[in-house]
A and B are shown apart, each in its own frame.
Chain A
Amino acid sequence: DTGVSQDPRHKITKRGQNVTFRCDPISEHNRLYWYRQTLGQGPEFLTYFQNEAQLEKSRLLSDRFSAERPKGSFSTLEIQRTEQGDSAMYLCASSDRTKGSPLHFGNGTRLTVT
């Protein structure tokens, strides 16, 4: 069990550019979650996959955001035409059982949009 890994750890981009983050969950976990966290706040739910199916999306996930989990393993989160308000920590988490199971988080990707 190597834990949830996220890449990159930090990303600095200019406004208007596209960025893509990757998350590798714990291998036997079929559920994968993306959260966004701004300074001084708790994580906010963005989206959730069960295997390769994206089952839920938050209203926070605007049209500029897209997430995929093509083979039910790793996942990517892409932000198109980044805005300064997108600056945040993007956290990925996975779990292996039913709704409400404890989540295993990665260390996040910190995005800074200049």
Chain B
Amino acid sequence: SQQGEEDPQALSIQEGENATMNCSYKTSINNLQWYRQNSGRGLVHLILIRSNEREKHSGRLRVTLDTSKKSSSLLITASRAADTASYFCATTSGGGADGLTFGKGTHLIIQP
């Protein structure tokens, strides 16, 4: 089963605009991670935010976490054509399961 659900499923914006993707999850978490996947390739880790953090930045990326709402958002500022990819959130729970649980992803298209 998939813990996280990204919203929207697809997003198309013009180059230079900001892109915001949201993730909701169901159970308590230790941390939440965002990954990017280019077509036909593996996933690349972007950023990790711990359950006791509310906001984190990395370059053009900004991630927020609201544990009371069980949700997170990923903001990509000043988007570039190279940002075209699928973006997934992934969570680890406090239980015995060790593997990350991924959502279905948001497919982002940056129009040049």
Interface residues of A (CB under 8 A from B): 4, 31, 33, 35, 40-45, 48, 55-56, 58, 91, 93, 99-100, 102-108, 110
Q: How far is the CA of A107 from the CA of B35 in the complex (A)?
A: 14
Highest count of chain B CB atoms <10 Å: which of A42, A45, A99, A103: A42
Docked complex: B1-21 residues within 8 A CB-CB of A:
2, 4
Q: Which residues of chain B have C-beta atoms less than 8 A from A4's C-beta? A: 42
Are the CB atoms of A108 and B92 closer together than 8 Å? no
Are the CB atoms of B100 and A103 closer together than 8 Å? yes
Q: Which residues of chain A have C-beta atoms less than 8 A from B30's C-beta? A: 99-100
Interface residues of B (CB under 8 A from A): 2, 4, 30-31, 33, 35, 40-45, 48, 88, 90, 92, 96-105
> What distance in Å separates the Cβ of A2 from its nearest Cβ neighbour in chain B?
14
> What distance in Å separates the Cβ of A76 from its nearest Cβ neighbour in chain B?
18
Kindly identify which residue among A31, A42, A48, A91 contacts B42, using a CB–CB cutoff of 8 Å. A91
A-B contact pairs, 24 of them (CB 8 A): A33-B99, A33-B100, A35-B99, A40-B104, A42-B2, A42-B90, A42-B104, A43-B43, A43-B88, A44-B2, A55-B98, A56-B96, A56-B98, A91-B42, A93-B43, A99-B98, A100-B100, A102-B33, A103-B45, A104-B45, A105-B35, A106-B42, A107-B42, A110-B40
Chain B residue nearest in CB terms to A45 = B99
> What distance in Å separates the Cβ of A21 from its nearest Cβ neighbour in chain B?
13
Q: How far is the CA of A81 from the CA of B98 in the complex (A)?
A: 28
Q: Which residues of chain A have C-beta atoms less than 8 A from B88's C-beta? A: 42-43
Kindly identify which residue among B42, B103, B105 contacts A105, using a CB–CB cutoff of 8 Å. B42
